[in-house]
A and B are shown apart, each in its own frame.
Chain A
Amino acid sequence: MSDITLPPSLQGVAPVKSIRTPARLDYQYSAGRASSRFLNNVAKKRLVGQMCPACEKVYVPPRGSCPTCGVATGEDVELSDNGTITSFCVVNVPFMGTLMEIPYVSALIVLDGSDIPIMHLIQEVPYDEVHPGMRVEAVWVPDDEIGATLESIRYFRPNGEPDAPFDSYKENV
């Protein structure tokens, strides 16, 4: 940089070491047909996945395609709001915007009748007792607060059933 000579008007002026240029863009996101149908069912307190016509796996939330076979999923499959934890993590770091008290547990849960886990929160159990195979059930928000969002399920909690056998969820581990 030593070979650059600044014009006299800039000599002795403090250099700009950093600038802040905040940027904001707003979007109107389209969920698409399959996800819209899923979310509209959530608003009715129902969890509805879709089955691949080729491999017969049931996806939830459905995105309109089987990511393995690359074919459209059409057939709706009604799912239970009970499921099995396949994996989990204990969150010890507060994220901006979160209302959760730390530590809390975030888990992958295979809903009964489906073949792919959804991610949700686990509550009403000490975090160090959460484990793969644990059977859980959804705790919904009060009926007048239910909307077309997965936040309509407040969290999952143990449903009191004995652990699911490993073979029943091994494909999702």
Chain B
Amino acid sequence: MRDVAIISFAQTKHAREISDINEVEILMPLMTEALASAGIAKERVDFVCSASSDYLAGQPFSFVMSLDAFGPWPPISESHVDMDGAWAMYEAWVKMQMGKTDIALVYAYGKSSPGNIRRVLSRQLDPYSLGPLWLDSVSIAAMQARLGLDAGVFTEQQIAEVVVDARRHGAQNPFAQLGGTFDVAGLLEEPEFVAPLRKHDCAPVTDGAAVMILAAGDVARELSDRPAWIRGIDHRIEAAALGVRDLTRSTSTKLAAQHARVAAGAVDFAELHAPFAHQELLLRAAIGLDDSVTVNPSGGALCANPIMTAGLVRLGEAAARITRGDGDRAVAHATSGPCLQQNLVCVLEGD
């Protein structure tokens, strides 16, 4: 395997609504910041990979215009995924494994505010049996939480503890949308939103974007004092039909964590992409993180959840902490689809 590292990362100050500027205007300052932080001009970038969804933008081929933020002239090598930016990063990593790409720029953006995100996400469901029901993302997650509670996989108390930790961490993160001091008893007194979920158990609706720069081998060492090396990465997917899955465990995460060799060393902290609080508990169990591991020091998706972007933000947050020296070995995770259908697990290490 070729050594590839995350050497630079920039993200928006995530918000419920960024409506005064368009996607290009959101992305351009982030690209400038990420390139400046890596100390390179855009001409050194060998490959650009982006992530977004036309269903969020409400217009076809919306990502093509977003390339204006990079300036794709002379013609560049470029690709796009209709997936979270973590998978754009995975594509860039695969491309770099082939040897000719030394520097890749990955970006992701998602504005949920133009549409109704719960309805938009229902379009991920199969168009024959579930899609026509307009089964929305919060309701599906609530069914998963109910299954977990009934099976004794987790308790309401544990779900609330996840939220307390996330909001406490979010208060320390200048890019987070939510944060603050809460206690379990207070949270459990809040009314149910879509039972058994309370509003604070669900990620907020967020507009945001992120840009990441990857570099290979000696180029990474040249450009960064402490690159965050990708030591293991894998992604797995489960069936689209919710009825054939065991929603009280995340088998695809478990498999991805095994193939990314999470257990090969101690984990200092983890950034897990859990849009619903109970899902963080399922992910911890699937990856095999014990209680000593700090999870989501950024606050996680519960404090800012720009769709198509929040997974890439987990990778970027983890890498930034490694580069700053706040840890030597981290797990970063991204998810996509209803009830943790698809999962990517990445192990990052500092030298």
Contacts and interface: CB of A to CB of B under 8 A. Distances in A.
Contacts of B31: 70
Contact of A64 (B19, B21, B72, B128): B21
A31 B22 contact: yes
B128 A65 contact: no
Interface string B195-207: 0000000000000
Contact of B28 (A26, A27, A65): A65
Contacts of B131: 21, 23
Interface residues of B, number: 34
- Chain B CB count within 10 A is highest, among A23, A63, A70, for A70
Given A65-B28, A66-B71, A28 B22 contact: no
Contacts of A66: 68, 71
B127 A21 contact: yes
B88 to A, nearest CB: 18
Nearest to A71: B71
A122 B61 CA distance: 27
Contacts of B127: 21
A23 B123 contact: yes
Nearest to B72: A67
Interface string B99-133: 00000000000010111100110010001100110
A89 to B, nearest CB: 20
A64 B58 CA distance: 20
B19 A30 contact: yes
Given A19-B128, A64-B22, A64-B25, A25 B68 contact: no
A33 interface: yes
B42 interface: yes
B115 A27 contact: yes
Contacts of A67: 67-68, 71-73
Contacts of A68: 71, 73
Contacts of A25: 55, 58, 115-116, 119-120, 123
Given A25-B119, A26-B115, A65 B19 contact: no
A65 B20 contact: no
A32 B21 contact: yes
Given A21-B127, A63-B65, A70 B25 contact: no
A29 B65 contact: no
B69 A33 contact: no
Contacts of A90: none
A48 to B, nearest CB: 17
- Chain B CB count within 10 A is highest, among A26, A30, A68, for A30
B24 interface: yes
A33 B25 contact: yes
Interface string B46-84: 000000000101110000010111111100000000000
A108 interface: no
Nearest to A34: B25
A69 interface: yes
Interface string A54-70: 00000000011111111
Q: Which 4 A-B pairs have the closest CB atoms?
A: A70-B71, A32-B22, A27-B58, A67-B68
